[in-house]
Amino acid sequence: MVLVRPTVVFGILKTAIPPRWDLAVYGMQIVEKGGVKWAEKAAWFRNVPYTAIDPTEGQMEVRIYFGELAKQAKGKKGLVVSERLGKELPPAAALIADRMVGFRAPHAKPPELYPSKLRRTKFTLEDLKAKLRAKGITPPVA
């Protein structure tokens, strides 16, 4: 998957392009077909999962641990050999490859409770209908 700016995808002219860290709010993902046998296209666009914007406690802990490991390599140059992989990597990548393995966030959810397993989008169909009703608009019926 790749995060891309919607300005690139749609050629929208804007006076200010959002910074990279803000792509989770404005960006889109390009998803490859992979194991989706029914897909006719090789790739397509989708919205970024809402946990990119509103991460769970476990996701925040993993991201913090990842960032702290990467900071330990600050100022180091060149390539170093990863103990676990046995190949040369940039210092931050080698640290992460060697020390992220086996890390489990203290507040990680069990796999069956992952937000992506429970609901794919921020708002369910019923949530969207309730939002429209709150504005005095009757939701469309198929």
**Mean pLDDT, range 31-40, rounded to an integer:** 88
**What's the pLDDT at 23?**
66
Largest CA distance in the chain: 62
- Domain co-membership, 104 together with 65: yes
**Mean pLDDT, range 121-126, rounded to an integer:** 79
- Domain co-membership, 19 together with 43: yes
- How far is Cα 71 from Cα 78, in angstroms, rounded to an integer? 16
- Domain co-membership, 134 together with 123: yes
- Domain co-membership, 139 together with 128: yes
- Domain co-membership, 70 together with 115: no
92-102 residue pLDDT tens: 999 999 999 99
Q: How many residues does the chain have?
A: 142
Q: Tell me the one-letter amino acid at 30.
A: I
The residue ranking higher by pLDDT, 133 or 36, is: 133
**Mean pLDDT, range 103-111, rounded to an integer:** 91
The residue ranking higher by pLDDT, 73 or 116, is: 73
For residue 5, CA distances in Å to 22, 45, 48, 53, 121 come to 10, 11, 11, 16, 19
**Start-to-end CA span in the chain (Å):** 33
pTM above 0.95, yes or no: no
- Domain co-membership, 59 together with 104: yes
6-31 residue pLDDT tens: 656 555 555 566 666 666 666 678 88
- Domain co-membership, 91 together with 117: no
**Mean pLDDT, range 110-132, rounded to an integer:** 83
- Domain co-membership, 86 together with 101: yes
Confidence of residue 2 (pLDDT cuts 50, 70, 90): low
For residue 24, CA distances in Å to 1, 7, 82, 122, 133 come to 13, 14, 30, 13, 28
Residue 72 pLDDT greater than 80, yes or no: yes
- Domain co-membership, 8 together with 36: yes
Residue 29: give the domain boundaries.
Answer: 1-48
- Into how many domains does the chain fold? 3
Task: Kindly tell me the burial class for residue 135, based on how many C-beta atoms sit within 10 Å of its own C-beta (0-12, 13-18, 19 or more).
Answer: exposed
- Domain co-membership, 90 together with 116: no
**What's the pLDDT at 58?**
93
- Domain co-membership, 117 together with 101: no
- Domain co-membership, 59 together with 103: yes
